[in-house]
Chain A
Amino acid sequence: GAVVSQHPSRVICKSGTSVKIECRSLDFQATTMFWYRQFPKQSLMLMATSNEGSKATYEQGVEKDKFLINHASLTLSTLTVTSAHPEDSSFYICSAIPATGSYLGAFFGQGTRLTVV
């Protein structure tokens, strides 16, 4: 099956710094990628929808200036958490939809655990 790779899998950063998380579709082209946030023992909350070559669409309540999303190519989307604070600590997961398919076939990355100290 198709593979979506997230990097890094774990990251610890100091408060005030920025962290970049990459989401790559390894064997398919993805026109649409989604970024989710998951708090401990809770469900996934959609943060934004990323379309290749255009601006991301953010869900209500998500700060677009804090969570910068770039989808520069058909195989790569990045999420940058700017000026991170401890409350940004969470598990971030991306998913990708093949360009030839639909959301019915979304594939998920393995997630990135961000800890801000």
Chain B
Amino acid sequence: AQSVTQLGSHVSVSEGALVLLRCNYSSSVPPYLFWYVQYPNQGLQLLLKYTTGATLVKGINGFEAEFKKSETSFHLTKPSAHMSDAAEYFCAVSGNEKLTFGTGTRLTIIP
């Protein structure tokens, strides 16, 4: 069984501030972890993924995430928020060829 918990359904940060979106997972097998972004009325775009190897993963648009096995976490960060980062973000876990998504976090950027 696998599951994902995203803490905070809504996160607001000022433009230029640090973005931190939290994701905790559970998986009975070594997990593969993903972050996706969804803009209104659009599909999902992969930001980054962790499979094996380096635990700090860099993705597109300046985002990165760190896999911490001891904390079962895969938090998403970006040093400086941009207005274009406003969107819905989904964390997902896969251990058996099916993706299980978290409930999503809506990121709002304050000018």
B99→A108 contact, CB < 8 A: no
For the complex formed, measure the closest distance between the CB of B76 and the CB atoms of chain A, giving whole angstroms. 16
| Residues in B whose Cβ lies below 8 Å from that of A106 | 99
| Residues in A whose Cβ lies below 8 Å from that of B94 | 103-104
**Given the complex of chains A and B, what is the CA–CA distance between A103 and B31 in angstroms?**
13
A-B pair number, CB within 8 angstroms: 49
| Residues in A whose Cβ lies below 8 Å from that of B42 | 110-111
A43→B90 contact, CB < 8 A: yes
Is B83 interfacial (CB-CB < 8 Å)? no
A43→B44 contact, CB < 8 A: no
Is B103 interfacial (CB-CB < 8 Å)? yes
Is B49 interfacial (CB-CB < 8 Å)? yes
A109→B43 contact, CB < 8 A: yes
Could you list 26 A-B pairs, sorted by A, with CB under 8 Å? Answer: A9-B41, A43-B90, A43-B102, A43-B104, A44-B44, A44-B101, A46-B100, A49-B98, A93-B43, A93-B44, A95-B44, A95-B99, A103-B97, A104-B49, A106-B99, A107-B46, A108-B36, A108-B43, A108-B44, A108-B45, A108-B46, A109-B43, A110-B42, A111-B41, A111-B43, A113-B41
Taking residues whose C-beta sits less than 8 angstroms from the other chain, chain B's interface range is 20 to 34
- A103 (CB) vs chain B CBs: closest residue: B97
Tell me the residues in window 47-64 of chain A with beta carbons closer than 8 Å to chain B beta carbons: 49
For the complex formed, measure the closest distance between the CB of B59 and the CB atoms of chain A, giving whole angstroms. 13
For the complex formed, measure the closest distance between the CB of A46 and the CB atoms of chain B, giving whole angstroms. 6
B43→A43 contact, CB < 8 A: no
| Residues in A whose Cβ lies below 8 Å from that of B101 | 43-44
Tell me the residues in window 14-70 of chain A with beta carbons closer than 8 Å to chain B beta carbons: 34, 41-44, 46, 49
A46→B99 contact, CB < 8 A: yes
